[in-house]
């Protein structure tokens, strides 16, 4: 990529005379942002800027294994400086606003950075305020979660020390980061409890906001098989509305109830990154997420702004597997758009790695039309097996650190 496509930007120079400029500017240094920067460099773009304040880069899928005692804490993260692609200009600050016409980003430290193209990849944030009582219950009550790094130690201790009683696990609908992974702590924990005899003296309930376990029939069948084997009560079309210590308010088809539980695993409420809506890059129908074409990843109003990952309104494709496909389409489409060529299409591919036990996993893949996809040369990835656990637990983290973040996949 080149930087000659900037003739339309000079008219703003009197307002942005202290700014920094890059051929492509990325907001966000998570999976999507780092891998996009690496892919851009490998495909000839030597002038990439990236805005993100974090010091540690977390491989989020491992959080569920750390929180259930299957992985070590030191496997979870690495210094952000170690994963930043060499040659990328890293602005260690937070993006607070985007001028979409000028493609100029104002940062929390006062820095202004402009891009020939701007990629929105700030992810989304956990917002416990959206679930009354949850934050307090995570500190001193019955609530735990494997979705937040700061409470993994407490979660691990509570899950492994559980001696029986009533346990409630929550799964809510979109927006959610890695939606299917919300089943992991439930199925791993109940496998542990079954092996120690704890499950026999426990009542385990799954509170699921959706009308069915999963939209893909084959994945739903496998989930149902695993839940039935353990005698887990499933409540569909039901949601958690508040938590108070060891009490949980649940609202379902029959109305609202308040129940007591010895253990409550929460699926966090998520909210869009503030910079998207604050910059007018969302739409009334997107809930604060970037209003991009889910097939081309291009913003519907501003053609040189793009969105990937959790920050974008792409439907249900909020997984690392989905991001790998999105990043490839993104990088090609930036080049194609500059050359006036037709854009490639992202088909909504995503992956549903659901750990069904401590050493077994279902590795379902599907696309926007809910068709089952298979990227591995095997007849059935959805049936839970040891090999998929080994892939998810040991192989994929190494692929992530050494290949995905370096733009090699």
> Does 346 map to a domain?
no
3 state SS of 378: coil
**In the predicted model, what is the mean pLDDT of residues 180-194?**
97
**Each residue of 347-373: pLDDT tens digit?**
999 999 999 999 999 999 999 999 999
Asked whether residue 160 falls in the same domain as residue 288, the answer is no
**pLDDT bucket at 377, cuts 50 / 70 / 90:** confident
**What is the pLDDT averaged over residues 57-78?**
97
3-state secondary structure of 204: strand
pLDDT score of 263:
98
Checking if the pLDDT of 10 tops 50, the result is no
Lowest-confidence segment of 12-21, 249-258, 350-359, 378-387 by average pLDDT: 12-21
pLDDT of residue 378: 76
Q: Are residues 141 and 263 in the same domain?
A: yes
pLDDT at 62 over 70: yes
Which residue among 235, 269, 303 closes a domain? 269
pLDDT of residue 1: 55
Q: Which of 17-31, 108-122, 129-143, 198-212 has the lowest mean pLDDT?
A: 17-31
pTM recorded for the entire structure:
0.92
Q: How many domains does the chain have?
A: 2
Question: Both 229 and 289 in a single domain?
Answer: no
Q: Using pLDDT thresholds of 50, 70 and 90, give the confidence band for residue 180.
A: very high
Question: Are residue 203 and residue 229 in the same domain, yes or no?
Answer: yes
pLDDT in tens, 297-355: 999 999 999 999 999 999 888 999 999 999 999 999 999 999 999 999 999 999 999 99
* Domain boundary pick from 313, 339, 365: 339
- Please check whether residues 264 and 283 belong to one and the same domain: no
| Same domain assignment for residues 238 and 290 | no
The answer to whether residue 293 sits within a structural domain is yes
Same domain flag for 50 and 15:
yes
Q: Is residue 226 part of a domain?
A: yes
| Residue 46 and residue 115 in one domain | yes
144 lies in the same domain as 265: yes
Range of the domain at 167: 126-269
Give the domain CATH number at 331: 3.50.50.60
Of 9-18, 173-182, 242-251, the one with minimum mean pLDDT is 9-18
**Does one domain contain both 88 and 199?**
no
Q: Give domain status of residue 131, yes or no.
A: yes
Determine, yes or no, domain membership for 2: no
Do residues 219 and 173 lie in contact, with contact meaning Cβ atoms separated by under 8 Å?
A: no
Buried b (16+ CB within 10 A) or exposed e, 93-110: bbbbbbbbebbbbbbeee
Examine the fold and report which residue of 238, 269, 300 is the final residue of a domain before the chain moves on.
269
Within this chain, do residues 176 and 257 fall inside the same structural domain, yes or no?
A: yes
In-domain check, residue 407 = no
Residue 325 within a domain: yes
Residue 401 lies in a domain: no
Percent of the chain at pLDDT > 90 equals 92
Q: For the segment 202-261, what is each residue's pLDDT rounded down to a tens digit?
A: 999 999 999 999 999 999 999 999 999 999 999 999 999 999 999 999 999 999 999 999
Instruction: Tell me: do 282 and 251 sit in the same domain.
Output: no
Residue 134 neighbours by CB distance under 10 Å: 26
List Cβ neighbours of 124 (8 Å cut-off, separation of 6 or more): 175, 177, 270, 271, 272, 273, 289, 310, 311
Q: What pLDDT does 141 receive?
A: 95
pLDDT at 18: 56
pLDDT at 8: 38
Output the average pLDDT for the chain: 94
* Residue in 388, 387, 350 with CA at minimum distance from that of residue 215: 350
């Amino acid at each position: 990529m080149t930087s000659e496509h900037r003739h339309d930007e000079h008219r703003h120079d009197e307002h942005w005379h202290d700014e920094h400029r890059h051929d492509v500017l990325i907001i966000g240094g998570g999976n999507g942002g780092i891998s996009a920067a690496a892919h851009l460099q490998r495909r000839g773009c030597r002038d990439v800027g990236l805005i993100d304040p974090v010091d540690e880069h977390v491989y989020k899928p491992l959080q569920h294994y750390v929180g259930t005692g299957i992985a070590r804490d030191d496997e979870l993260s690495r210094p952000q400086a170690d994963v930043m692609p060499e040659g990328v200009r890293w602005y260690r600050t937070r993006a607070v606003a985007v001028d979409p016409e000028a493609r100029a980003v104002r940062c929390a430290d006062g820095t202004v950075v402009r891009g020939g193209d701007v990629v929105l990849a700030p992810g989304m944030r956990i917002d416990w305020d959206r679930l009354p009582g949850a934050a307090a219950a995570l500190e001193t009550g019955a609530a735990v979660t494997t979705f937040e790094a700061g409470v993994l130690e407490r979660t691990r201790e509570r899950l492994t020390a559980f001696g029986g009683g009533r346990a409630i696990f929550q799964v809510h609908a979109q927006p959610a980061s890695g939606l299917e992974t919300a089943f992991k702590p439930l199925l791993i924990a109940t496998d542990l409890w079954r092996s120690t005899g704890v499950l026999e003296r426990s009542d385990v309930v799954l509170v699921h906001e959706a009308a069915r376990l999963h939209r893909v029939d084959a994945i739903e069948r496998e989930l149902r098989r695993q839940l039935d084997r353990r005698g887990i009560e499933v409540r569909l079309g039901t949601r958690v509305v508040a938590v108070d210590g060891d009490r949980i308010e649940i609202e379902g088809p029959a109305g609202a109830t308040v129940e007591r539980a010895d253990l409550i695993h929460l699926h966090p409420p998520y909210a869009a990154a503030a910079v998207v809506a604050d910059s007018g890059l969302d739409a009334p129908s997107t809930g604060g997420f970037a209003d991009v074409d889910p097939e081309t990843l291009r913003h519907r109003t501003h053609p040189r702004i793009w969105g990937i990952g959790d920050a974008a309104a792409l439907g249900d494709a909020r997984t690392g597997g989905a991001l790998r496909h999105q990043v490839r389409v993104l990088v090609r489409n930036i080049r194609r758009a500059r050359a006036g060529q037709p854009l490639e299409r992202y088909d909504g591919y995503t992956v549903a790695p659901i750990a069904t036990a401590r050493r077994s996993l279902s590795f379902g893949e599907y696309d926007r039309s809910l068709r089952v996809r298979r990227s591995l040369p095997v007849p059935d990835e959805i049936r839970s097996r040891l090999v998929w656990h080994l892939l998810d637990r040991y192989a994929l983290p190494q692929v992530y650190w050494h290949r995905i973040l370096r733009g090699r996949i």
